[in-house]
Amino acid sequence: MATKLTVLSNGSLRVDGNDFELVDAQGNPYGLAGRERISICRCGLSKNKPFCDGSHKGHFEHDATAFDLPAPKPAAPVTPPAAPDAGAAPLA
């Protein structure tokens, strides 16, 4: 099963799949004990962050309705540094 992320209305971000990894800011993996479904806290109230513990109930409202993001802006062109003048005096 491909990994699927579902934004739940008034709730968590649900992750379903059999080939995903959740890591902390330093890249260390969380031990998921073989789970194929986890829920990630979106409200900030969970006592078990980053996992959802249901603390959002009655305290978090968001109607999860999909929409299209605008296309990303193209990156600004990078101008290479000017080459040193070949006729200039050598640097000391």
pLDDT digits (tens, 9 = 90+) for 28-59: 999 999 999 999 999 999 999 999 999 999 99
Q: Which three-class secondary structure state does DSSP give residue 1?
A: coil
Distance of CA 8 to the CA centre of its chain: 16
Domain assignment present for residue 73? The answer is: no
Question: For 54-89, what is each residue's pLDDT tens digit?
Answer: 999 999 999 999 999 999 999 888 888 877 766 666
And the tokens for 51?
A: 């996992």
Segment (H or E) for 13: strand 13-16
Indicate whether 87 belongs to any domain: no
Hunting for tokens 């969970």 — which residue is that?
Answer: 46
User: pLDDT value at position 76?
Assistant: 87
Global confidence as pTM: 0.73
Q: Quick check: is 2 in a domain?
A: yes
Task: Answer yes or no: is pLDDT of 24 > 80.
Answer: yes
Say how many domains are in the chain. 1
Residue 92's pLDDT band, with cuts at 50, 70 and 90, is: low
